[in-house]
Amino acid sequence: MQGRQINTWQQVEISEIRAYLAYLTELGLARATILRKIASLRSFFKYLTLQGIVENNPFVNFRAPKRQKKLPQFLYVREIEELLKFEDVSPKGLRDRAILEVLYGTGMRVSELSGLNLEDLDLDRGYLRVYGKGAKERITFLGKKGSQALKDYLLRGRTVYLKPGLNPTERAVFLNKNGTRLSVRSIRRLLDTYVRAAALEKKISPHTLRHSFATHLLEGGADLRSVQELLGHVSISTTQIYTHLERDKIKKTYQQAHPRA
């Protein structure tokens, strides 16, 4: 990085900050890494100003570039079908199918699924009560296939996992081999198993199913506000990232259909 000679913190001006930003960009650093470095310098100069070491903070009028939003990875419907295409009717198979169906069918977070209790279910109406971030409560819905998978597990799977002598009052919906609540880590691990079995060439996490849920709803004609409510997003701006996926699809359609594209 070239520029005028700087000997003291007092001499740093906004031009040096911009030159440093350009230098970091030329190095090919990720935007998140660059923003962390800029944020550290901003805090440092705030400290120098408070201590009286510098009179003018060069960061006062400096506007850092906005953080780049990554488009969420999602599965196509055919990939979801491959993931759910297994015929294991053992207690474990029934439990795991119900977990995958609920994750995709409701769009809930994996921590929310792990925290589900029996009293949170109303499968006759397809309602599930979810406690999200900040213990915020919301109602989400589960379709016919998901509800049936969950009913099958509760009738023929959960009863096997439950250990009457050890935990007769256990209220967790999804149980491990010890008859206690299935952890977030275990849910992630079992998903990895079925991703490998379906030979899906993607890095897939429970959150990928949440992204798929939102994407498929929007592709099916759902409005953004409804998707926001179902996902439990406080701000609509958080949900709007999925509109980029729709925009890409529209652009592709335009390029395929317009004679001058």
Question: In angstroms, what is the C-alpha Rg of the chain?
Answer: 25
Q: Which of 153, 161, 194, 242 is catalytic?
A: 242
Please give the domain boundaries of the chain with CATH numbers for all domains: 7-68 (no CATH), 77-253 (1.10.443.10)
| pLDDT tens, position by position, 156-186 | 999 999 876 666 778 999 999 999 999 999 9
Q: Point out which residues pair with 141 in neighbouring strands.
A: 127
Contacts of 149 (CB under 8 A, 6+ apart): 94, 97, 98, 101, 102
d(CA 125, CA 127): 6
Count the neighbouring beta carbons within 10 Å of the beta carbon of residue 43.
11
d(CA 201, CA 83): 12
Q: Tell me the two tokens of residue 88.
A: 């294991």
Q: What are phi and psi of 125, to 5 degrees?
A: -105, -5
109 as an active site residue: the answer is yes
138 as an active site residue: the answer is no
Q: What is the mean pLDDT of residues 70-90?
A: 86
| pLDDT tens, position by position, 85-129 | 888 999 999 999 999 999 999 999 999 999 999 999 998 888 999
d(CA 125, CA 141): 9
Q: Which of 67, 133, 145, 244 is catalytic?
A: 133
d(CA 79, CA 199): 10
210 as an active site residue: the answer is yes
Q: Which of 95, 97, 104, 109 is catalytic?
A: 109
Per DSSP, the three-state class of 181 is: strand
Contacts of 253 (CB under 8 A, 6+ apart): none
pLDDT, the chain, mean: 86
Contact at 8 Å (CB) between 108 and 68?
Answer: no
| pLDDT tens, position by position, 10-24 | 778 888 888 888 888
Q: Tell me the two tokens of residue 62.
A: 């400096």
Contact at 8 Å (CB) between 116 and 138?
Answer: no
Q: Which of 129, 163, 207, 216 is catalytic?
A: 207
What's the whole-model pTM score?
0.69
DSSP class of 53? S
d(CA 213, CA 142): 11
242 as an active site residue: the answer is yes
